[in-house]
Structure 1
Amino acid sequence: MKLRTTLAALLATAALSSAAFAECELTLKSSDTHPDGYPTVAAVQKMGEMLKERSGGRICIDVFHSAQLGEEKDTIEQTKFGVIDLNRVSMGPFNNEIEETKVVSLPFIFRSVDHMHKVMDGDIGAEIAAAFEPHGFVALAFYDGGSRSFYNSKKPITSIEDLAGMKVRVMQSDVFVDMMTALGANATPMPYGEVYSGIQTGVIDGAENNWPSFESSGHYEVAGYYTLNEHLIVPEVLVMSKVSWDKLSPEDQELVRAAARESMPINRELWAAREKESEDKVRAAGVQVIDNIDKTPFIEAMVPVYEKHANTPKLQDLVTRIQAVE
């Protein structure tokens, strides 16, 4: 059923993009849940420009933004089968399939965005990227996803106690569900596209995300409290279907990989600018921002989450090595 739905979406949008990419021998379909202009979308579009130029116009990328091809969980499945060629997705939905992604999804595993960059740009990042391939994906780039914080429609969250009993949307990941449980909240896995109406109708009280997502989704219109506790700094990943990858020549594989690598600093620059722009817009809209919170109790509450999900010598070693990166 999911495959038929995705195929229908592809057919419906094919006519719109066929003219723009008619001169290309190969047009790679790329999916993103975020809207046009979002830093991850713009980075893949820029990657496409580089790839088209360097391939002499042979290879193009058609970016389907705004969840045109489906929500992340569904597009990941279709990417594995080669229905979608490229996919920019959050790390969370991979947690239950690729164990290494659980570690970089752990709350407070990264001390800062700079720390995350150093880890993902080095040997550890390469190791995590390699873990995707046995599962049908080629990890091409790690993008910034900012720091995620809590927002809700009920009250300011100034302590763990304020989260007690609150219904909070999380990505469909056991790590995120257990994080919320450890904080005393009721985790509610839900597709990203349903969060606005979920808050508006009271199905959930709130969610957690970064400044640009909070703003671009319009969630700030229905959730008037944003707490800067920055519990997650999770890199996002651009993956290519192994099915699609194996159809490329070694030379074209290197063209794709190089363009993806060079899109990373573009994403970071765009992200920093967009983050500031989104924060300013949210504050100007009257959202109450709680930015003097003590993170220590939140960090201490994560001990059982680490014990459960970094539960093998391999994953425990990965945690230790990430924390040791200066």
Structure 2
Amino acid sequence: MKKVVMLVMLFLCLTMGMAYANGQVENAATTGPIEIKLAHENAVDQPIHRYSQLFADKVNQYTEGRVHITVYPAGQLGNMTDLTTNVSLGLMDMCIIDNSNLINYIPEYSMPSLPMMITSWDQAEKVFDSDMVAKLNERMASEYNIRILDWWWNGFRNMCSSKPIYKIADFKGVKFRSPGLDNYLTMFNLLGAKPTVIPWGETFSGFQTGIVDGMETTTEAIYSQSFYTLGKYIIMTRHLFSSNAPVINEKLWESIPERDRVLMQKAMDEATSDLRKEVISSEADYIKKLNNSGNVVIELQDKDKLVSIFTPYWNEFAKKNNCEDFLKFIIECGK
């Protein structure tokens, strides 16, 4: 009898192990829905969160509850760097990451976020929806276990400062909050400003207490996160294009039945299209709101010189990371 029990247990273990190894997911009718956690750093009133929730709702609807996604906003489950690492390791299911944050994985991803590299919505679409970026996405999945499902616009970034900046020379010595990424640090140094690395979650208090004189982000975030109340001057540099990628652990993605993967991608494509349209159309609205709030919205007098300031950095970055062809492609998309 003891031998029979042991044989039964051995059989069950082998069966379960084979199912896991093959990445099979049982039908939701018998085992319940596939539960997925989606985390990001953005506040609940920002587009990234609203469209993350829209995506989650659509997935639940289209899969008839077989896949259920719960969204965790505002850095509840960690910062962007940690979330990206955890998705790669399989410790986190999904997250939203900034493309420039992928420099330590595939450096080419950071190329579109070099200062003044992308200067129009049309150029951004041509670059991120290209076959060249699609190939990078496949590399990301195979080499780092991170599946990029699409590219979401965050928008063009501008400056918010307590000091007036009317021309490039006025940046000299002004302390700006910066992420600890090379493209941001180099940008501020080339402008003559003083970058100060502060986590995003501490940016408001750092600005409020005078640790920095200013910060930079999209006009939407400057307004919705109330940075405009700390910095009177809004400098419309549009110095950097920010995009985000909703990503999922590749092994998890492959374990989901194909019919549901197709439906999830449909939900993602619809959310992506709607988000891009909103971000583009709302840019002018936020500029108007900032004007109406008593802020001084400034167009740099010598903005046309910004590209020439950063071009040597583009070439240096491309040569260092062996991606000169990608640089040429991005520039061509802007013509």
Which interval holds the TM-score relative to the shorter structure? 0.7 to 0.9
In 1, Cα distance between equivalents of 2:213 and 2:109:
28
- Which residue in the other structure is 2:231 paired with? 223
2:261 to 253, 256, 261: 253
Using the TM superposition, name which of 136-145 and 120-129 deviates more.
120-129
Q: Which has the larger radius of gyration?
A: 2
- Which residue in the other structure is 1:306 paired with? 314
2:182 to 174, 183, 188: 174
Taking structure 1 as the reference length, what is the TM-score of the superposition? 0.86
Residues 34 and 146 of structure 1: is their aligned pair in 2 closer, same or farther, counting only changes over 3 Å?
Answer: same
In 2, Cα distance between equivalents of 1:191 and 1:274:
26
In 1, are the aligned partners of 2:49 and 2:73 still within 8 Å (CA)?
A: yes
Task: Point out 4+ residue stretches in structure 1 off by more than 6 angstroms.
Answer: none
Residues 83 and 278 of structure 1: is their aligned pair in 2 closer, same or farther, counting only changes over 3 Å?
Answer: farther
In 2, Cα distance between equivalents of 1:41 and 1:313:
33
In 1, Cα distance between equivalents of 2:266 and 2:306:
39
- Which residue in the other structure is 2:148 paired with? 139
- Which residue in the other structure is 2:43 paired with? 35
- Which residue in the other structure is 1:52 paired with? 60
Q: 1:92-126 deviations in whole A, cap 9, x for unaligned?
A: 22223321112111111113012101221221331
In 2, Cα distance between equivalents of 1:312 and 1:131:
19
Residues 218 and 104 of structure 1: is their aligned pair in 2 closer, same or farther, counting only changes over 3 Å?
Answer: same
Taking structure 2 as the reference length, what is the TM-score of the superposition? 0.84
In 2, are the aligned partners of 1:92 and 1:171 still within 8 Å (CA)?
A: no
CA apart distance, 1:314: 4.2
In 1, Cα distance between equivalents of 2:117 and 2:217:
16
Q: What is the percentage of aligned positions where both structures have the same residue?
A: 26
Matched residue type, 1:231: H
Aligned-partner SS, 1:311: helix
1:1-326 to 2 correspondence within 5 Å? 25-133=33-141, 134-153=143-162, 155-291=163-299, 293-312=301-320, 314-325=322-333, 326=335
Q: Cα RMSD between the aligned structures?
A: 2.1
CA apart distance, 1:292: 5.0
Aligned-partner SS, 2:187: helix
Matched residue type, 1:139: I
CA apart distance, 1:273: 4.5
In 1, Cα distance between equivalents of 2:301 and 2:151:
29
CA apart distance, 1:312: 4.8
CA apart distance, 1:254: 2.8
Aligned-partner SS, 2:78: coil
CA apart distance, 1:80: 2.2
Normalized per residue, the structure richer in helix is 2
In 1, Cα distance between equivalents of 2:301 and 2:133:
30
5+ residue gaps, structure 2 = 1-30
CA apart distance, 1:231: 0.8
In 1, are the aligned partners of 2:40 and 2:95 still within 8 Å (CA)?
A: yes
CA apart distance, 1:201: 1.1
Matched residue type, 1:55: T
CA apart distance, 1:86: 1.5
Using the TM superposition, name which of 190-199 and 89-98 deviates more.
89-98
In 1, Cα distance between equivalents of 2:193 and 2:166:
14
In 2, are the aligned partners of 1:80 and 1:243 still within 8 Å (CA)?
A: no
Residues 249 and 314 of structure 1: is their aligned pair in 2 closer, same or farther, counting only changes over 3 Å?
Answer: farther
In 1, are the aligned partners of 2:41 and 2:80 still within 8 Å (CA)?
A: yes
5+ residue gaps, structure 1 = 1-22
Aligned-partner SS, 1:310: helix
Using the TM superposition, name which of 143-152 and 59-68 deviates more.
59-68
In 1, are the aligned partners of 2:160 and 2:216 still within 8 Å (CA)?
A: yes
Aligned-partner SS, 1:203: coil
In 1, Cα distance between equivalents of 2:156 and 2:248:
25
In 2, Cα distance between equivalents of 1:100 and 1:313:
7
In 1, Cα distance between equivalents of 2:220 and 2:251:
32
CA apart distance, 1:194: 0.8
Aligned-partner SS, 1:233: strand
Q: 1:238-270 deviations in whole A, cap 9, x for unaligned?
A: 111224324323333333223222221111123
In 2, Cα distance between equivalents of 1:308 and 1:151:
28
